[in-house]
Amino acid sequence: MPAKITIRNNGPLRIEGEFTIVDQDDRPFDLGGRTVITLCRCGQSNNKPFCDSAHKTCGFDSAVIARVLPPPAPKPA
Ligand code: FES
């Protein structure tokens, strides 16, 4: 199953399916066999980039509704 990312209202990004999470040097995280993971969106996790539920007590407020984005800006030649 391709990766599916769900934006949780007032919470994390939930990723499920087939995915790999890497750092900026392309080193993969060992997720210990997890097939579902949540990434912090509030910035308050003590286990970044993963969610540790800090969003529940820090007042994070971000409800998201899916929408259409404009086309990407053309890259300079
Ligand atoms: S979204 Fe859960 S700790 Fe940040």
| Sequential pLDDT tens for the chain (77 residues) | 899 999 999 999 999 999 999 999 999 999 999 999 999 999 999 999 999 999 999 999 999 999 999 999 999 98
User: Considering Cα of 21, then 54, then 42, then 47, what sign does the dihedral take?
Assistant: negative
What is the layout of strands, in order, in the sheet containing 4-7?
4-7, 13-16, 36-39
Q: For residue 43, report the distance from its CA to the centre of ligand 1, in Å.
A: 7
d(CA 7, CA 39): 10
Q: How many residues does the chain have?
A: 77
Q: For ligand 1, what atom is nearest to the CA of residue 45?
A: 3
Q: Is 54 in the pocket of ligand 1 (CB under 6 A)?
A: yes
Residue whose CB lies within 8 A of the most ligand 1 atoms, among 44, 46, 64, for a mutation test: 44
Note whether 73 and 61 are within 8 A (CB): no
